[in-house]
C-alpha cells in the first residue's frame, strides 16, 4: 500500500482499459494511487510498462483493506460486464470515500437503465458520469457493451449487426481519461449525474468508417434489437472525437495483441505491421536508437516551440483557424517529446537532463491545450454569449493551471532547475486567482450590462493634472446606461452644473475647508478619501442629492486611460471642433477646449467630452477582433495601474474586482501567518486650484529597519516642479500630503527640505478604517525641488515575527514614479529599485 500525504487517489475498479488510462494519466501528474480490485492479477499483467512503481499499489478487496484517507477517489465499474456496474459501490463508499474526498463514479452509458437510484447518494463531493462508446488501445473485446460487441463481431465475422436507428457516441479513451482527471482536480460536475459522450454517429456512417479498415464489411439491421435511447433530464458533456483515428488505434491494438493471442492472421484491409521479432530488424532499430535517441527529445521539443511561435503569429494576424490547428500540432509534438524524455530519464549520468525536458514538454502540452480552448473565444462579443463562452473557457483554464501548478511544485521538490526557475518568475497562484475572479465577473456580466434590467453607472472624469486622492479633480461626470447588454446612452455633465443644485450645507473635511478654501462639500471634491469604494459611495450620495439620480455603480478614469485607448484607435476626429485628438495631443487640446473661456454653468466642457467619448467608442467598435484584444489588454493594464477604478452594487462582481485589486480600495494585504504586514501609501491632493501636476516629478525612497523590539521606517518624497517661474501662481504646486501607515505606528517627525534648509512640520494625524494618516500641507514653487521626510516606528511584542511583508500602495492617477526600497535586517541590507507603476509587494525573513 502506498502511504500518501498529497494528491492521493484511490481507483476502485477491475482492470479495464479506461481505468488503465486514468491510472497512467494520474501517475503523469505525480499522484500517488492505490488500486482496489477483486482480482489483482489482470492489473499486474497489464502494468509492467509502468516504470515508476513506487507511486501506485494494487490491493485486493476484502483481503487488504486500507485505512488510508484519500483526497480523491474513482469508481470505474461495468466496463467488462455491465451487469456488475453497481456491485462494488457500497464497498467503494466504505473503503475510499471519506469526509472531504472528491469522488467520481464512472459507469457505462448502457448501465443507466439498471440503476435503481438506491446505491448512489449524490453530494457536493460526488459526481456520477455515464460514459459513451469508448474506443482505443487495450479495448476488451470480451465485454458485453455494445461498442465492444460490435467490434468483436466485425473482426470475427466481417458483419455489423445493429438495431434500426442505432446511434454511436464514440470517444477516444485517452481524451476521456484526460478530461476525467481534470474534473477530479478542479471544477467537476459534482452533485449531479452527467453524460460524457462523443459526437453522435449514425449506424450507416459508423459502418462506412469501419469499411475503410475491414474488407467487405456487411451491415445487417435486426428489427428485434431495440435502439439505445439517451436518458432525459441529465446534463451532457460532448468530447470531439476523431473517429477514423480512434478506430485505427483500436484495430491496431487488436491486430497486434488479441488476434495474435487467438492465432488468427486475417482481416484488416490496412494491415498493421507485425511486431518485429527478427534479429536483423532488432539490431537495425537498436543501432538507430543508439544514434538518434539522445537527440530526439530536443529535436521534437524544438519543433513544438517553433510551431507554437507560428501559432502565435497566426493568431495576431487574424488567422484564428490556422492558429488553433498549429497549436493542436504543437500539443502533439509536446506530448511526443514528453514520452521520449521519460524513456531517456532513466539513463545514468544524463538522465537528469531528460527529466528537465520531460517537465518542459508536459508544461508545454498543458499550455497548448489551454491555448486551443481559448483561441475561439476571441470571436465572441455579445454579452450573453460572451458570459457563457468565457465562463467555460475560464473553467477549463483554471483546471489546466491547477494541474500545471501541481506539476511545477512536484518537479521543483524533486530538484528540477526549470521548475524552480518557473516558480521564481511566474506567480501561478496569482494567475489562478485572476482566472477565478474573471470567471466570477463573466458570470455577472449580463447583469452588469443590463441584460434583463437596465443599469446606470456614474462615470467620473478625473483630471490627473490636478491630482486628487482617487486620481484627479472631478471636472466632469457622465451617466452611462446599459440596456439589453449594450451601451444605450452616455450623458456627460459639467460638475459645476450639478453642484449648483445642491440644497443645504454639507460640512467638508478640515483640509478642504482650511487649504482649499471651500466652506461647503460638493460632488467635485467628493473623492477626498483615497479608498475608492468610500469615495464612490460619497459621489453617489452627492449625485442623488444634487440631481435626484441613483446609479448601480461608479467608474472613475483619468487621462492616461484615454491615452492608452487612443494608441490603438489612432487619432479620433471631432467634426464639430475640426480637431484630431491623438494620444500625443490629448492633454493640450482638452485643456484648450475645456478651460479656455470656461465659467461655472457653461456646457462647453460637457459638450467637448461628450463628443470625444462617443467618437472614441465608435472608433473602438470599428476595430477588428485582434485590435480589440489589444484594447482589452490595455483595459487590464490601466486597471492594474489604477487609471481606471470600478465600484459595483453587484456584490459578487465587487468582491471579484476587489480580489483583483481593481476596486481602488485601501488595504493591507495579508502576508501569511506569523508575518508583520506593513503598509505605506503616499496620497497627494492638489489644493492649488491649478493643473500644476503636469510639471511635477516625484521619487519615493523608503528605508525600513527591522529590530527585535521595533520596526522603524523613514520615507523621503522628492517633489520637483519643472514649471517655468514666469507662470507665477498657476505654476505653484500646493499639495496636501498624507502618508498612510499602520495604526500601531508612532510618528517620530516630519520635515521638509529645500536646498540646505530643513524645516520641521506639524503633522495632522488621524485614524481612518484601520489605518493612520499623517497629513501636512506643502508648497513647491515653480522651478523648485523639495524633499518631504517622514519617520515613524512600531513597537513589537516580546517575540518578533518570522517574516516581514511590505506593501507600497500606488495612488490612482500617478505615473511611473521611481521607487527605492531598502530593508535592513540582521542578515544585511536588502535593496529593491523599481517604478511604482502599480502596487509594490515585497516579503522577506524578519530575522535569522
For the domain bounded by 675-845, which CATH number is listed?
A: 2.60.40
Is-contact 786 753, C-beta < 8 A? yes
Question: Which helix (H) or strand (E) covers residue 467, if one does?
Answer: none
Query: Using CA atoms, how far apart are residues 106 and 120, in angstroms rounded to an integer?
Result: 12
Q: Which pTM does this prediction carry?
A: 0.63
Look at strands 126-131 and 803-809 and give their pairing: unpaired
Residue 262 pLDDT > 70: no
Mean pLDDT, to the nearest integer, of 400-419? 79
Q: What is the reported pLDDT for 561?
A: 87
HSE at residue 814, side-chain half, CA atoms within 13 A, is 28
Look at strands 579-581 and 572-574 and give their pairing: antiparallel
Output phi, psi for 784, to 5 deg. Answer: -105, 150
The full DSSP string for 192-215 is: SEEEEEE--EEHHHHHHHHHTTBT
Is-contact 694 814, C-beta < 8 A? no
Query: Using CA atoms, how far apart are residues 9 and 24, in angstroms rounded to an integer?
Result: 12
Q: Per residue in 39-95, pLDDT tens?
A: 999 999 898 888 777 888 888 876 666 667 888 899 999 999 998 888 888 888 888
Question: Could you tell me the pLDDT band of residue 159, with boundaries at 50, 70 and 90?
Answer: very high
Q: In what order do the strands lie in the sheet with 235-239?
A: 56-60, 32-37, 8-13, 72-76, 102-108, 126-131, 193-198, 235-239
Residue 392 pLDDT > 80: no
Cell triple for 291: 544514434
Q: Per residue in 106-133, pLDDT tens?
A: 999 998 888 765 567 788 889 999 999 9
Query: Using CA atoms, how far apart are residues 670 and 647, in angstroms rounded to an integer?
Result: 22
Q: Which residues 6+ apart lie within 8 Å of 262 measured at CB? A: none
Residue 655 pLDDT > 80: yes
Mean pLDDT, to the nearest integer, of 389-398? 72
Provide the Cα torsion 318, 324, 325, 329; round to 10°: 130
Q: Which residue, chain included where needed, has cell 471631432?
A: 574
Residue 583 pLDDT > 70: yes
Q: What is the reported pLDDT for 363?
A: 75
Task: Identify the bridge partners of residue 102 per DSSP, sorted by sequence position.
Answer: 72
Output phi, psi for 632, to 5 deg. Answer: -60, -40
Alpha helices in 379-530 (DSSP H): 383-413, 417-425, 428-448, 495-499, 510-514
HSE at residue 501, side-chain half, CA atoms within 13 A, is 14
Mean pLDDT, to the nearest integer, of 771-775? 94
For the domain bounded by 455-659, which CATH number is listed?
A: 3.40.630
CATH class held by domain 8-201+228-240: alpha beta
Q: Which residues 6+ apart lie within 8 Å of 743 measured at CB? A: 767, 770, 771, 772
Is-contact 438 652, C-beta < 8 A? no
Residue 273 pLDDT > 60: no
Task: Identify the bridge partners of residue 214 per DSSP, sorted by sequence position.
Answer: 268
Q: What is the reported pLDDT for 260?
A: 52
Among 187-196, 590-599, 618-627, name the one with the lowest average pLDDT. 590-599
C-alpha 580: how far from chain center: 38
Q: What is the reported pLDDT for 5?
A: 54
Cell triple for 239: 468530447
Cell triple for 843: 516579503
Q: What is the reported pLDDT for 121?
A: 79
Cell triple for 383: 454579452
Residue 6 pLDDT > 70: no
Output phi, psi for 509, to 5 deg. Answer: -60, 155
Q: 689: alpha, beta or left, given left = phi > 0 and alpha = psi -120 to 50?
A: left
Q: What is the reported pLDDT for 288?
A: 67
Domain coordinates in residue numbering, the chain: 8-201+228-240, 279-448, 455-659, 675-845
Q: Per residue in 320-371, pLDDT tens?
A: 777 778 878 878 878 887 787 777 777 776 667 777 777 777 777 777 777 7
Is-contact 702 714, C-beta < 8 A? yes
Q: What is the reported pLDDT for 650?
A: 95
Question: Could you tell me the pLDDT band of residue 600, with boundaries at 50, 70 and 90?
Answer: low
Residue 266 pLDDT > 50: no
Question: Which helix (H) or strand (E) covers residue 584, if one does?
Answer: none
Three-state SS sequence of 441-460? HHHHHHHHCCCCCCEEEEEE
The helix/strand/coil state of 420 is helix
> 268: which DSSP letter?
B
Q: What is the mean pLDDT of the chain?
A: 86
Nearest to 435 by CA among 187, 606, 666, 617: 187
Sign of CA dihedral 272, 275, 278, 280: positive
Q: 840-843: which pairs have CB atoms within 8 A and are 24 or more residues apart?
A: 840/806, 840/807, 840/808, 840/810, 841/669, 841/805, 841/806, 841/807, 841/808, 842/805, 842/806, 843/671, 843/672, 843/675, 843/803, 843/804, 843/805, 843/806
Output phi, psi for 160, to 5 deg. Answer: -120, 105
C-alpha 454: how far from chain center: 29
Within 568-695, strands assigned E span: 572-574, 579-581, 644-648, 675-686
> 721: which DSSP letter?
E
Nearest to 2 by CA among 74, 56, 66: 56
Query: Using CA atoms, how far apart are residues 340 and 304, in angstroms rounded to an integer?
Result: 13
Query: Using CA atoms, how far apart are residues 700 and 719, in angstroms rounded to an integer?
Result: 9
Q: At what angle do helices 417-425 and 383-413 cross, to 10 degrees?
A: 130
Better pLDDT: 571 or 274 = 571
Residue 14 pLDDT > 50: yes
Is-contact 760 750, C-beta < 8 A? yes
Q: Per residue in 816-844, pLDDT tens?
A: 999 999 999 888 889 999 999 999 999 88
Nearest to 250 by CA among 210, 217, 220: 210
Question: Which helix (H) or strand (E) covers residue 148, if one does?
Answer: helix 146-157
Q: What is the reported pLDDT for 383?
A: 53
Is-contact 141 264, C-beta < 8 A? no
Query: How many other CB atoms sit within 10 Å of the CB of residue 591?
Result: 15
Nearest to 176 by CA among 104, 125, 235, 228: 104
Provide the Cα torsion 733, 735, 741, 743; round to 10°: 170
Q: What is the reported pLDDT for 291?
A: 64
Query: Using CA atoms, how far apart are residues 398 and 157, in angstroms rounded to an integer?
Result: 47
Q: What is the reported pLDDT for 678?
A: 95
Cell triple for 513: 475647508
Question: Could you tell me the pLDDT band of residue 270, with boundaries at 50, 70 and 90?
Answer: very low
Q: Which of 11-15, 217-221, 715-719 ranks highest by mean pLDDT?
A: 715-719
Query: Using CA atoms, how far apart are residues 494 and 605, in angstroms rounded to an integer?
Result: 6
Residue 264 pLDDT > 70: no
Better pLDDT: 275 or 330 = 330
Amino acid at each position: 500500500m502506498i502511504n500518501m500525504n498529497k494528491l492521493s487517489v484511490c481507483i476502485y475498479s477491475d482492470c479495464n482499459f479506461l481505468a488503465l488510462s486514468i491510472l497512467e494519466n494520474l501517475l503523469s501528474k505525480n499522484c500517488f494511487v492505490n488500486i482496489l480490485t477483486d482480482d489483482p492479477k489482470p492489473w499486474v499483467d497489464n502494468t509492467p510498462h509502468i516504470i515508476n512503481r513506487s507511486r501506485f499499489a494494487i490491493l485486493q478487496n476484502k483481503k487488504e483493506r486500507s485505512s488510508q484517507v484519500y483526497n480523491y477517489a474513482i469508481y470505474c465499474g461495468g466496463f467488462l460486464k455491465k451487469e456488475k456496474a453497481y456491485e462494488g459501490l457500497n464497498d467503494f463508499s466504505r473503503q475510499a470515500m471519506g469526509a472531504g474526498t472528491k469522488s467520481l463514479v464512472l459507469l457505462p452509458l448502457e448501465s443507466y437503465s439498471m440503476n435503481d437510484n438506491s446505491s448512489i447518494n449524490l453530494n457536493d463531493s460526488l459526481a456520477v458520469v455515464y460514459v459513451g462508446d469508448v474506443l482505443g488501445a487495450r479495448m476488451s473485446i470480451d465485454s458485453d457493451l455494445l461498442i465492444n460487441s460490435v467490434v468483436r463481431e466485425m473482426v470475427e465475422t466481417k458483419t455489423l449487426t445493429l438495431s434500426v436507428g442505432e446511434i454511436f457516441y464514440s470517444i477516444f479513451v485517452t481524451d476521456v481519461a484526460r478530461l476525467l482527471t481534470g474534473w477530479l482536480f478542479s471544477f467537476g460536475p459534482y452533485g449531479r449525474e452527467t453524460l460524457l459522450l462523443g459526437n453522435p454517429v449514425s449506424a450507416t456512417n459508423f459502418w462506412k468508417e469501419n469499411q475503410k479498415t475491414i474488407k467487405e464489411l456487411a451491415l445487417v439491421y435486426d428489427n428485434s434489437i431495440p435502439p439505445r435511447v439517451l436518458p432525459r433530464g441529465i446534463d451532457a458533456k460532448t468530447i470531439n472525437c476523431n473517429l477514423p483515428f480512434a478506430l485505427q488505434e483500436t484495430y491496431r491494438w487488436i491486430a497486434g495483441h488479441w488476434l495474435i493471442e487467438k492465432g488468427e492472421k486475417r482481416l484488416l484491409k490496412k494491415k498493421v505491421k507485425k511486431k518485429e521479432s527478427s534479429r536483423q530488424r532488432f539490431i537495425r532499430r537498436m543501432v538507430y536508437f543508439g544514434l538518434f535517441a539522445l537527440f530526439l527529445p530536443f529535436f521534437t521539443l524544438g519543433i513544438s516551440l517553433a510551431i507554437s511561435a507560428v501559432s502565435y503569429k497566426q493568431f495576431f494576424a487574424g488567422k484564428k483557424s490556422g492558429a488553433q490547428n498549429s497549436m493542436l500540432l504543437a500539443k502533439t509534438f509536446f506530448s511526443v517529446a514528453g514520452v521520449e524524455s521519460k524513456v531517456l530519464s532513466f539513463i545514468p549520468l544524463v538522465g537528469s537532463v531528460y527529466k528537465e525536458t520531460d517537465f518542459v514538454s508536459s508544461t508545454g502540452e498543458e499550455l497548448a491545450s489551454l491555448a486551443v480552448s481559448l483561441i475561439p473565444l476571441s470571436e465572441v462579443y455579445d454579452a450573453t454569449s460572451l458570459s457563457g463562452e468565457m465562463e467555460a473557457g475560464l473553467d477549463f483554464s483554471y483546471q489546466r493551471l491547477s494541474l500545471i501548478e501541481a506539476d511545477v511544485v512536484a518537479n521543483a521538490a524533486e530538484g528540477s532547475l526549470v521548475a524552480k526557475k518557473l516558480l521564481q518568475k511566474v506567480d501561478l497562484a496569482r494567475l489562478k486567482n485572476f482566472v477565478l475572479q474573471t470567471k466570477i465577473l463573466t458570470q455577472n456580466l449580463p447583469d452588469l450590462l443590463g441584460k434583463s434590467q437596465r443599469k446606470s453607472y456614474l462615470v467620473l472624469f478625473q483630471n490627473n493634472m490636478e491630482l486628487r486622492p482617487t486620481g484627479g479633480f472631478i471636472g466632469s461626470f457622465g451617466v452611462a446606461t446599459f440596456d439589453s447588454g449594450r451601451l444605450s446612452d452616455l450623458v456627460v455633465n459639467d460638475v459645476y452644473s450639478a453642484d449648483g443644485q445642491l440644497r443645504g450645507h454639507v460640512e467638508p473635511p478640515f483640509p478642504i475647508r482650511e487649504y482649499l478654501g471651500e466652506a461647503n462639500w460638493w460632488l467635485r471634491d467628493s473623492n477626498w478619501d483615497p479608498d475608492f469604494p468610500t469615495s464612490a459611495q460619497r459621489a453617489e450620495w452627492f449625485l442623488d442629492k444634487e440631481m435626484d439620480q441613483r446609479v448601480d455603480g461608479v467608474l472613475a478614469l483619468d487621462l492616461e486611460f484615454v491615452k492608452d485607448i487612443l494608441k490603438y484607435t489612432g487619432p479620433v476626429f471631432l467634426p464639430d471642433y475640426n480637431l484630431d485628438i491623438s494620444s500625443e495631443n490629448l492633454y493640450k487640446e482638452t485643456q484648450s477646449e475645456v478651460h479656455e473661456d470656461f465659467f461655472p454653468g457653461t456646457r462647453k466642457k460637457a459638450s467637448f467630452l461628450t463628443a470625444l467619448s462617443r467618437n472614441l467608442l465608435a472608433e473602438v467598435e470599428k476595430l477588428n477582433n485582434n485590435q480589440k484584444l489589444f484594447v482589452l489588454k490595455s483595459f487590464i493594464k490601466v486597471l492594474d495601474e489604477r487609471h481606471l477604478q470600478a465600484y459595483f452594487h453587484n456584490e459578487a462582481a465587487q468582491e471579484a474586482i476587489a480580489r483583483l485589486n481593481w476596486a481602488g480600495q485601501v488595504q493591507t494585504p495579508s502576508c501569511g501567518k506569523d508575518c508583520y504586514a506593513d503598509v505605506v501609501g503616499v496620497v497627494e491632493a492638489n489644493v492649488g486650484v491649478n493643473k500644476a501636476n503636469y510639471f511635477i516629478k516625484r521619487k519615493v525612497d523608503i528605508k525600513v529597519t527591522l529590530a527585535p523590539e521595533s520596526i522603524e521606517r523613514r520615507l523621503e518624497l522628492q517633489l520637483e516642479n519643472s514649471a517655468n517661474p514666469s507662470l507665477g501662481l498657476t505654476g505653484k504646486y500646493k499639495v496636501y500630503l498624507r502618508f498612510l501607515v499602520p495604526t500601531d505606528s508612532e510618528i517620530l517627525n516630519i520635515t521638509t527640505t529645500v536646498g540646505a534648509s530643513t524645516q520641521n512640520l506639524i503633522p495632522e494625524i488621524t485614524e481612518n478604517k484601520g489605518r493612520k494618516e499623517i497629513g501636512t500641507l506643502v508648497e513647491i514653487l515653480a522651478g523648485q525641488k523639495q524633499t518631504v521626510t517622514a519617520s515613524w516606528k512600531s513597537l513589537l511584542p516580546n517575540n518578533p515575527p518570522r517574516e516581514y511583508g511590505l506593501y507600497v500602495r500606488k495612488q490612482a492617477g500617478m505615473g511611473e514614479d521611481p521607487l527605492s526600497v531598502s530593508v535592513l535586517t540582521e542578515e544585511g541590507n536588502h535593496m529593491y529599485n523599481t517604478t511604482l507603476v502599480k502596487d509594490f509587494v515585497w516579503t522577506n525573513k524578519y530575522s535569522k
